[in-house]
């Protein structure tokens, strides 16, 4: 109890002095904070993503299944180069009438600064640029509804992100996401590491076998695992039954006020980004990026 009482108080403004990078302000401003395309781009569309743009590209595959398209190919270049971008651009320019490069670095036509929140910005730009503004607006509405209950001034009893942060303190979350949300578990693992400075587990395909075998052994050794369930379907229902005896605790997140897989997935991701933010503060860490990432970007350009 003494250790718990010594932890920062998330309802005290002094706690937020640790946020030297002001990531909290970026989280608050995120709905609607993305670069706007100028004019229309020729269809059909293709999307390639790597680095910070990989999840946005995966979410868009349901609408634009081609990697390279004869109309416009969007290259979400949110990585550190390392020789991949040159080959991708060469291939895209051979196939496409128009190639639009988003990201950071000298090749970027549309600047998207490096940030753990960049997946949203990549996604929203492409939705606007491909005539999917209605879907983009649905994403922004879902995030705006989430934001109202996640902001720091919302006290802990009514703030689901603060409550979940306390539940994940000194524990390892295991993300259990419904298949309707492509690669959401992996996106959460990434944002949780980058903002919350914490490890988490994204299960592989065939997750039930993973839960039954690997977690059975680890549970006997007392791993502090928390299953975090996102979405309701037959697969997540089975996962809950299996995990009930294999993790210390289960957290079932309330569904967001959103309609459709992409707005729902972004709303969950945004809620967990706030959770990671509060967890970093509980650990007295700056939720922003470490300087080593900036040095890596500079070295890779």
d(CA 134, CA 45): 17
> With contact defined as beta carbons under 8 Å apart, do 197 and 278 qualify?
no
Output the pLDDT for position 214.
76
CA angle 23, 14, 11 (to 5 degrees): 85
What does pTM read for this prediction?
0.93
59 Rama sector, left if φ>0, alpha if ψ -120 to 50, beta otherwise: alpha
From the first residue on, what is the mean pLDDT of each consecutive set of 10 residues in the chain (301 residues)? 69 96 98 94 95 96 94 92 79 95 91 96 98 97 98 96 97 95 97 96 85 69 83 90 88 96 98 98 92 64 56
pLDDT of residue 100: 97
Same fold, 2-19+152-282 and 45-131: yes
Contacts of 179 (CB under 8 A, 6+ apart): 233, 235
In this prediction, residue 2 carries a pLDDT of 40
State residue 29's pLDDT score.
98
174 HSE (CA, 13 A, CB side): 26
**Six-digit token string for 232:** 């309701």
User: Where do the domains of the chain lie?
Assistant: 2-19+152-282, 45-131
Backbone angles phi, psi at 164, to 5 degrees: -70, -35
Q: What tokens does 206 get?
A: 């065939």
Instruction: Locate 2 and state its tokens.
Output: 């003494």
pLDDT value of position 218: 57
- The span from the CA of 143 to the CA of 30, in Å, is 8
- Give the Cα separation of 288 and 20 in Å (integer): 8
For residue 206, the model assigns a pLDDT of 77
Tokens of 147: 């934001």
Model pLDDT, residue 1 = 37
CATH code that applies to domain 2-19+152-282: 3.40.50.10490
In CATH, which of 3.40.50.10920, 1.20.1560.10, 2.10.109.10, 3.40.50.970 is domain 45-131?
Answer: 3.40.50.10920
Contact between 173 and 279 under an 8 Å Cβ cutoff? The reply is no
């Amino acid at each position: 109890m003494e250790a718990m009482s010594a932890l920062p108080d998330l309802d005290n403004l002094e706690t937020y002095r640790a946020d030297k990078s002001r990531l909290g302000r970026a989280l608050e401003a995120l709905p609607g904070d993305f670069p706007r395309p100028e004019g229309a781009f020729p269809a059909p569309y293709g999307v390639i993503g790597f680095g910070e743009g990989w999840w946005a590209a995966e979410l868009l595959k349901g609408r634009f299944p081609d990697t390279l398209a004869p109309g416009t190919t969007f290259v979400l270049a949110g990585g550190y180069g390392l020789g991949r971008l040159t080959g991708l651009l060469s291939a895209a320019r051979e196939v496409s009438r128009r190639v639009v490069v988003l990201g950071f670095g000298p090749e970027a036509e549309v600047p998207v600064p490096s940030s753990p929140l960049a997946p949203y910005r990549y996604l929203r730009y492409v939705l606007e640029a491909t005539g999917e503004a209605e879907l983009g607006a649905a994403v922004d509405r879902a995030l705006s509804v989430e934001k109202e209950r996640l902001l720091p001034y919302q006290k802990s009893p009514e703030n689901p992100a603060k409550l979940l942060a306390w539940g994940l303190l000194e524990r390892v979350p295991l993300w259990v996401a419904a298949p309707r949300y492509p690669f959401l578990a992996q996106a959460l693992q990434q944002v949780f590491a980058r903002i919350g400075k914490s490890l988490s587990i994204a299960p592989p395909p065939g997750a039930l076998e993973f839960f039954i075998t690997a977690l059975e052994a680890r549970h006997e050794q007392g791993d502090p695992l928390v299953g975090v369930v996102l979405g309701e379907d037959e697969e997540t229902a089975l996962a809950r039954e299996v995990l009930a005896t294999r993790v210390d605790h289960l957290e079932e997140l309330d569904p967001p006020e959103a309609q459709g897989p992409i707005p729902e997935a972004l709303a969950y991701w945004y809620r967990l980004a706030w959770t990671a933010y509060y967890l970093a503060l509980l650990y007295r860490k700056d939720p922003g990026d470490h300087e080593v990432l900036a040095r890596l970007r500079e070295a890779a350009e």
